[in-house]
Every structure is written in structure tokens, then in C-alpha cells.
Structure 1
Amino acid sequence: MEYLMIVLKLIVGLSILNVWLVRSKKSTSWRGGDANNIEEEFKAYGLPVWFMWVVGSIKVVLALLLLISIYYSQFEAIAAYGIAILMLGAVSMHIKIGDPLKKSFPAFTFLVISLVIALL
């Protein structure tokens, strides 16, 4: 079970870092609305650009804490629950603007995995 938790933490943590630090200016099929990057995505949701920076910073910090929790378990709950809350917000934004359900798939998946990490 310990190795499964490590794998789940790596998947979620590295994926979030990838989205926010590597692919933030790139188009993907998961972006909300017709957005080609994260800034356009937040605009599609009706959110201000400053909020993108706040959410992005929090997600990066929580992703790093989740990775750190592989060695220091005291960070596990705050990181996993924090990511779950943010992913719930992401799924809500996709629903708000009427995106097809498939666009919510990554956020929903990370929401579920984060809850598994937090609860097990």
C-alpha cells in the first residue's frame, strides 16, 4: 500500500507541476472553453488574471508538499485535501461554462486520487 501511495502522489504532484510550470502556455484538449493557455482558460471561466496567479501558486505549493510528503508524512493531509478542494473548483468551473464532461476528466481524476491519498 505504501508504494501505491507514493505512485499516486507522484502522479498528482508531477502532473500539477507539469500543467502549471511546463505547459501553462500550451494548448491542450482539457482547457476550459476555447482557451489555448491557462490565462485564456481563467478568462473563459470569468475569473480575473490575478486569481490565476493565486490559484497557480497555491497549486504549485500543494503539489510540492504532496511530493515532500513521500518523506515527511505530516504534509500529506494538507496537500491532499488542498488539491482536492482546488480540483473540485476546477470541475465546477468546467460545469459553469458548459464544457463537455471529458474536459473535466483530469481535474475529477486528481480530485478522486487526492481524496484517496488523504483518506487512506
Structure 2
Amino acid sequence: MILFMVSEVMFFFAFFWAFFTSSLTPVFNIGGVWPPIGIEVISPWGLPLLNTILLLSSGATVTWSHHAIVGGLKQEAETALYLTLTFAVYFTTFQFLEYIEAPFSISDGVYGSTFFMATG
């Protein structure tokens, strides 16, 4: 199990490494600028911030549910788990909307591919 978790962390780290390497040293193929010409950057204060809050909240509620299970509080555990599932449905819906409304796609070079691979 620990090997799986470490491999997932390294996998996720690799996407951010690719993104930061590409942004700090843009190559001539993309015009030598970052973000590449023609790419409109998504504001981090809209849906990305809301999705971050939903993810952190779902982490807190699933931890609450776990502690309630350990403490033998079945009703409280169910409430926390339902709240976690509600956050998951909202997060998935908002992530889908963010992908649909993104002004770029996965085929738009290194910016689009690293964005969609790291967030999806």
C-alpha cells in the first residue's frame, strides 16, 4: 500500500515538474513566452478556488466520519459520509464545467496537456 501511495505522489509531482519546467524555460516552439501565445489562462479565483475548498472540506468530513466510526457513533458517521458524498458530487460537477468552459484543450501544447493531466 505504501508503495502505491509513493508512486502516486511521484506521478503527481512529475506533472507539476513538467508544468514548472515548461513555464520557467519556455522553448522557441511556443514562441518563447509563457503561457504560450493564444492561450487564455483560467483565473484561480473562480471555479478552481471553489473546487479547492470542496476538496479540503471533503477531506475534513471523511476524517470526521472515520473518527465517528472509531468512536462507535454510527449516526454521526453516516451524516459525515453523506456530506462527503455531497461534496464529491459538487466537485465533480464543477470540475466538469471547468473543463467544458476552458478556453484551451489537451491538444493545445504543453500548457493544455499538463493542465488537464494534473487536474484530471
TM-score scaled by length of structure 2: 0.41
Instruction: Say which one has the larger Rg.
Output: 2
TM-score scaled by length of structure 1: 0.41
